């Protein structure tokens, strides 16, 4: 019986795989472009596959009609700011369909037209890039930190459509700088330490740069800003280090059991055993309080003032104490 179910599952899997390889599944779901692609690939490997041929001859004309309609609809929708990108996507699908159809034995049949869209794709790419550049330039004119970040994304999209161009790379870099939050890091104030404030500042900058909140933030030591004015300034103060040692009981369990006399010695008395298990812990903790302040605005008011306890466990040791009490019942 087990073998029967195994063969049944294998048979169903083969049927499903067969449907996927011929494009039948995609065709039933209404994805004619995918059905045409899969069936064309199948025919390129096995031209005599009748099922793939039937799917291709039905799916290809419908896919072309669908995506030609999408391209035309996108071009006619003047209110859509990204119409050229939608048209480009449609032309690229049509180009892929034609490339695959050219490898099948049905080229030239009615409904199996092979048309290439090189000029339409190039024109759509150029127009899409031009629109993205126009959007980005307008955002940069507003002089806003967050609008500059949006402009940066538009310039990168324009580069994807127009290719690597020095002028676009320059615009993207300008937008990135305009959208970057510049944080000046002041020397670390250490109380009760012999630490070098400037060295500690360098360590702090390196740590912040390794864990930035997002791409649009730069941490720069205040003494390296030059003529640049940071959007914010961060100040870190480290308090005096103290160490505490403690020992305490961290857990206790009690056990009780009566041991009956053995069969060969019936005169023996029952014995009750009680046990207590104590768990103790010795800890050494380090305390180093710190304060973080962030200043911003024309008057450099503190927008963040947070005290941090700075507690860290240096060492911890646990051990178990067992106390036994035996008595007769």
* CB atoms closer than 10 angstroms to residue 205: 18
Question: Strand locations in the chain, DSSP E?
Answer: 181-185, 189-190, 217-221, 232-238, 242-259, 271-287, 290-296, 301-308, 311-328
Strand duo 189-190 + 181-185: pairing: unpaired
As given in the structure block, the two tokens for residue 69 are: 């309609």
What would the 3-class secondary structure string for 68-100 be? Answer: HHHHHHHHHCCCCCCHHHHHHHHHHHHHHHHHH
What predicted TM-score, i.e. pTM, was given to this entire model? 0.69
Diameter of the chain by CA atoms? Answer: 109
Q: Phi/psi zone of residue 163: left (φ > 0), alpha (ψ -120 to 50 degrees), beta?
A: left
Residues 6+ apart with CB under 8 A from 49: 22, 42, 43
Range ranked top by mean pLDDT from 14-28, 151-165, 188-202: 151-165
User: ∠ CA 148-149-150 to the nearest 5 degrees?
Assistant: 90
The two structure tokens encoding residue 242: 């103290």
| 84-88, 228-232, 245-249, 292-296: range with highest mean pLDDT | 84-88
Contact (CB, 8 A) for 178 and 160: no
Q: Taking all residues of the chain, what is their mean pLDDT, rounded to a whole number? A: 85
Average pLDDT of the residues in 141-162? 96
With cut-offs at 50, 70 and 90, classify the pLDDT of residue 262: low
What local confidence, expressed as pLDDT, does residue 72 receive? 96
Tokens for 199? 């060295």
- Distance CA(228)–CA(256), nearest Å, equals 75
Q: Are 53 and 106 in contact (CB under 8 A)?
A: yes
State the pLDDT at residue 196. Answer: 83
DSSP states of 21-59? HHTHHHHHTT-HHHHHHHHHHHHHH-TT-HHHHHHHHHH
Query: What are the φ and ψ backbone dihedral angles of 149, each rounded to 5 degrees?
Result: -65, -40
Q: From CA 268, how far away is CA 92, in angstroms rounded?
A: 96
Per the document, the length of the chain is 329
Q: How far apart are CA 52 and CA 27, in angstroms?
A: 11
Model pLDDT for residues 4-62, shown as the tens digit of each residue: 444 444 433 433 344 447 688 889 999 999 999 999 999 988 888 999 999 999 999 99
pLDDT digits (tens, 9 = 90+) for 80-108: 999 999 999 999 999 999 999 999 999 88
Strand partners, 190: 238
- Report the alpha-carbon distance of residue 64 to residue 95 in Å, rounded: 10
Domain boundaries, the chain: 19-116, 126-178
Looking at 137-151, 164-178, 215-229, 239-253, which range is the least confident one?
239-253
For residue 16 the two structure tokens come to 């499903």
Mean pLDDT along residues 114-124: 96
């Amino acid at each position: 019986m087990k073998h029967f179910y195994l063969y049944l599952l294998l048979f169903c899997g083969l049927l499903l795989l067969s449907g996927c390889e011929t494009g039948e599944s995609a065709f039933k779901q209404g994805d004619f472009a995918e059905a045409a692609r899969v069936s064309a690939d199948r025919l390129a490997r096995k031209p005599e596959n009748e099922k793939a041929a039937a799917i291709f001859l039905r799916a290809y004309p419908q896919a072309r009609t669908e995506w030609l309609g999408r391209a035309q609809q996108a071009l006619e929708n003047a209110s859509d700011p990204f119409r050229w990108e939608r048209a480009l996507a449609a032309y690229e699908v049509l180009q892929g369909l034609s490339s695959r159809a050219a490898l099948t034995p049905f080229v030239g049949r009615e409904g199996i037209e092979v048309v290439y869209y090189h000029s339409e794709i190039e024109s759509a790419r150029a127009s899409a890039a031009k629109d993205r550049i126009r959007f980005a330039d307008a955002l940069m004119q507003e002089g806003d930190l967050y609008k500059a970040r949006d402009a940066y994304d538009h310039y990168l999209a324009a580069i994807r459509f127009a290719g690597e161009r020095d002028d676009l790379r320059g615009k993207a870099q300008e937008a990135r700088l305009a959208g970057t939050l510049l944080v000046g890091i002041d020397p670390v104030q250490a109380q009760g330490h012999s630490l070098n404030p400037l060295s500690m500042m360098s360590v702090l900058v390196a740590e912040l740069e390794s864990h930035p909140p997002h791409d649009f933030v730069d941490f720069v030591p205040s003494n390296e800003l030059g003529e640049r004015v940071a959007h914010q300034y961060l100040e870190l103060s480290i308090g005096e280090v103290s160490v505490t040692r403690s020992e305490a009981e961290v857990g206790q369990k009690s056990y009780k059991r009566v041991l009956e006399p053995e069969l060969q010695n019936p005169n023996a008395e029952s014995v009750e055993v009680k046990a207590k298990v104590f768990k103790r812990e010795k800890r050494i903790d380090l305390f180093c309080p710190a304060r973080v302040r962030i200043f911003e605005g024309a008057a450099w008011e503190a927008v963040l003032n947070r005290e941090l306890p700075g507690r860290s466990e240096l060492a911890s040791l646990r051990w178990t104490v067992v106390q036994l009490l035996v008595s007769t019942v």
